[in-house]
Structure 1
Amino acid sequence: MESTATYSEAELVRGLTARDEKVFSHIYDLYSPALFGVIVKTLNDTGAANDVLQEVFLKIWRNADSYDPSKGRLFTWMLNIARNAAIDVLRSKSFKQEQKTSYNTDELYAIKGIITEQPGNEHLGFSKVLEKLTKEQRTLIDLAYYKGCTQEEIARIMDIPLGTVKTRMRNAINQLRTIINTSNI
């Protein structure tokens, strides 16, 4: 159900920390599509993504007091919770075992420069932001944030030095930060 009320970010934070169910429902309606998109893109499994999304919102509800506005926007905080939860599932032994029965994960990394536009990107609500990055920057973001690869793994996959990965990743994140800060996400 779509909420008709509008709140400022400060009101959302106050309502969340006060455990206001109406505000929490609004937060869910507002942010769940974008968070779900990140989770789906990371896991490539809609069923598991639904479960993780519910866990994410439980964490948001339970840990609302840990949000610090001085460290970033509410959406960024929630996005990190979602991404980390999805990566935790992705790295879990049981999830890996399930995925081995449906496809070989090594095939994902068999081709240098593997990242192309993947299905599910339209769910992110972030696609317009990502389109503003170069292809190389999108590849780095995809490998690091959606596939859960470490910088060392990215260096091996892309066959470039680790220092280059770190520099390019920092540049991509700075570019994303600039784009996000100038838009109303």
Structure 2
Amino acid sequence: MKKPLPTEQELIGLLQAKEKKGFDLLYHLYSNALYTIAFKIVHSQQLAEDVLQDSFIKIWKNIHTYDASKGSLFTFILNITRNTAIDKTRSLYYQKQRQGLKCTILLFDRVDQKHCFYQQVDYIGITKYIDALAPQYKHLIEYVYLKGYTHQEAAKALEIPLGTAKSRLKSAIAQLQLMIL
């Protein structure tokens, strides 16, 4: 008989106590979803693997900063992974610009629900909540958290003021938290 998985609070406790078991569980539960998020942003298997490794190191080192009142553990680790991937693309872009090479970062819109990333997100149960949001919130969540846009880039792509984008994003996250909890 399989032992039941720990609750999120138990997992956080294991991580904050620097228990290897907690790290192993975190990796087992979230590595596929985080890899897919990283891949969606960096568009390279090797870079996504690097981002995933860097992200888990950052999560391990910074788990003490996790605040449950600001979001779930998944939101915390998703943000770390997303930011690490964005930093990686910016770093590569900068390096290529310094070498005089042209660098084009392609950002793809969602083609359909069968795309690998959306299957992974749906697997962890988030897609149904995102799809339930009003379009102005849904699009912001997709741009910022699923496509890796910065707030400013998302505002520009959606042709709305930056302040409006930030306000809507805050509202969208609050709505998602209410739906999930």
> How does the TM-score come out when normalised to structure 2?
0.74
**Which position in structure 1 is the counterpart of 2:120?**
123
Measured in 2, the distance between the counterparts of 1:151 and 1:23 equals 32
AA matched with 2:139: T
Residues 1:34 and 2:28 aligned together: no
Are the equivalent residues in 1 in contact too, given 2:51–2:85 (CA < 8 A)? Answer: yes
Question: Shift of residue 25 of structure 1?
Answer: 0.6
Within-5 A mapping of 1:77-92: 77-92=76-91
Q: Report percent identity of matched pairs.
A: 38
Measured in 2, the distance between the counterparts of 1:130 and 1:46 equals 26
Are the equivalent residues in 1 in contact too, given 2:96–2:103 (CA < 8 A)? Answer: no
Are the equivalent residues in 2 in contact too, given 1:36–1:123 (CA < 8 A)? Answer: no
Within-5 A mapping of 1:27-176: 27-94=26-93, 97=96, 104-105=104-105, 108=107, 115-117=109-111, 119=115, 120-124=117-121, 125=124, 126-176=126-176
**Which position in structure 2 is the counterpart of 1:111?**
none
Question: Shift of residue 56 of structure 1?
Answer: 0.9
CA RMSD of aligned residues (A): 3.1
Q: Which stretch has the larger CA shift, 149-158 or 84-93?
A: 149-158
Question: Shift of residue 96 of structure 1?
Answer: 7.5
SS of 2:49's partner is helix
Kindly provide the CA deviation profile for residues 2-58 of structure 1, in whole angstroms up to 9, marking residues without a partner as x.
Answer: x95511222212211222112211111011122222222222323211111111111
Q: Alpha carbons of 1:93 and 1:68: their partners in 2 closer, same or farther (altered >3 Å)?
A: same
Uncovered stretches (5+) of structure 1, i.e. residues with no partner: 109-113
Q: Alpha carbons of 1:169 and 1:61: their partners in 2 closer, same or farther (altered >3 Å)?
A: closer
Measured in 2, the distance between the counterparts of 1:142 and 1:170 equals 14
Aligned length: 171
Kindly provide the CA deviation profile for residues 134-185 of structure 1, in whole angstroms up to 9, marking residues without a partner as x.
Answer: 444332222223444344433332333445434433333333222222xxxx
